[in-house]
Amino acid sequence: MLNVGDGKASARFAALFILLACLPFRAAAQVVISQIYGGGGNSGALYRNDFIELFNRGTAPVDMSEWTVQYASATGTSWDRTNLGGVIEPGRYYLVEEAQGNGGTISLPTWDASGGINLSATAGKLALVKNASVLSGAAPSGSHIADFVGYGNANYAKGNPVSTLSNTTAALRRSNGCADTSNNSADFSVVSPAPRNRGSGTNLCSPLPPAPPTGPQITETGVVNAASYAGGPVAPGEIVTVFGTGIGPTALATLEVTPDKLWVTKTLAGTRVLFDGVPSAMIYTSTGQLSTVVPYSVAGRVRTEVSVEYNGRLSNAVIVPVASAAPALFTSNSSGRGQAAALNQDYTFNGPVTPSGKGSVITFYATGGGQTAPGGEDGRVVTGNPPKLEQPVRVEIGGLDAEVQYAGAAPYLVSGVLQINVVIPKALASDGAVPVRVIIGNASTQPEVTISIGPGSTSQGSSSGARPYWRRRRISGP
């Protein structure tokens, strides 16, 4: 049986709680990608070159001498880069000329940096990076990435990708570059290309007030799964991220619990989220995005009406479909892709340096599993005998069925965070990054999530579904 038997395991578990309870907040950047055009020189194109436009939406000059813009295809893991230089003053644009095609009739305005990246006219991924190191992987993350935009069928973006572009359309950041809700689909319009450079004049951005005169507003497609950032139906107990404007305070406020540490509060920094009028447990809130837990009362409904109340002012209502399950796995880089946020049997974090052995137990963390038995309690910090998922659970690792020893609420975390203990199949043929998929009822977790498997086969005992590993040691409340 798996046991938490030492302080190191407790510390690791507590660190994982921080990762999950305070879900990643994608703060607004000062220099942003303000326009993308990949149809340069193609059939029907006006301009001969692809281009990337940057904009300084802040209040101080930014030296770009160490920065790069980097591009990958919509599902690619290899990145091309262009080195930048010079200074962008507040409210000024910066034009990066890229590859030239055989068509088009007009040259770009004088560029501020030039490279040879051949951008896709329809779909791709762009990163603005504060150094010259080449990115890797499908979903790079870290403080060195100043901004990120996915468009078309890109498999990674801030929030949701911008719509598909064409030879005659570009992605243009709204409000002349000032919009930044950390949701690409909300921040960009698809319009005719209009390249601007450092000589194009000044457009100073006004700071966003805590609540605009029109009141808080939820983006039309702004309710997404907090683990995968995918839209679609929500499930009872699912942790979701909501994007909008004026939906919370300017400064990020994070989860609060009641004095007895048994409940996560349903009001946070003046913000409440209502599902058919029922308030939900709050994980964090800010002016442009928040995270909350879908109430279990939506179970059995076809749809739910979501609204945000901030300082007594109610937002527009967004209708979201409801499913019995909408599962997604948390990932270590909080992107919804790549390495899963998982613990090995010895309580180390699973990863390339500390892989799991075949035959050992691995623990995943997820959300969107739907109703539990006994039924979930909104905002409850799970204690005692944790409830299990009501629907059947299957796990595939490397395409093989894996033995599920436990699937239910994660103890000492807010109800809605799921823990799934699984035995890695000994018959697994491959090592390294191996795909994992969790199926709850008829719904599956997102693609492109992996765990790290080491060579050989190890079995360190088993843990029963009735006695998951946390039983011997309590971790202090959140």
Q: What is the pLDDT along the chain (478 residues), one digit of tens a residue?
A: 233 334 344 433 443 444 444 455 554 558 999 999 999 999 999 999 999 999 999 888 999 999 999 999 999 999 999 999 999 999 999 999 999 999 999 999 999 999 999 999 999 999 999 999 999 998 887 778 899 999 999 999 998 999 999 999 999 999 999 998 889 999 999 999 999 999 999 999 976 444 444 689 998 888 999 999 888 999 999 999 999 999 999 888 999 999 998 999 999 999 999 999 999 999 999 998 999 999 999 999 999 999 999 999 999 999 999 999 999 999 987 888 889 999 999 989 999 999 999 999 999 999 999 999 999 999 999 988 899 999 999 999 999 999 999 999 998 899 999 999 999 999 998 889 999 999 999 999 999 899 999 975 444 443 433 333 333 222 222 2
- Output the CA–CA distances (angstroms, integers) from residue 455 to 352, 361, 427, in the order listed: 12, 15, 12
Q: Where are the alpha helices (DSSP H) in 393-443?
A: none
Distance CA 44, CA 454 (A): 52
User: Closest Cα to residue 228, out of 447, 17, 474, 430?
Assistant: 447
Q: Decide the pairing of beta strands 31-37 and 87-88.
A: unpaired
Distance CA 8, CA 347 (A): 8
User: Closest Cα to residue 52, out of 171, 214, 135, 216?
Assistant: 171
Query: Residue 344 is encoded by which pair of tokens?
Result: 């090995």
User: Closest Cα to residue 41, out of 97, 94, 106, 95?
Assistant: 106
pLDDT recorded at residue 229: 87
Distance CA 102, CA 100 (A): 7
pLDDT recorded at residue 12: 39
pTM summary value? 0.62
pLDDT recorded at residue 143: 73
Are the C-beta atoms of 54 and 314 separated by less than 8 Å? no
Residue 368 Ramachandran class (φ > 0 left, ψ -120 to 50 alpha, else beta): left
Residue 408, φ and ψ in degrees, nearest 5: -175, -160
pLDDT recorded at residue 207: 62
Instruction: Identify the sign of the CA torsion 427, 430, 433, 437.
Output: negative
pLDDT recorded at residue 139: 87
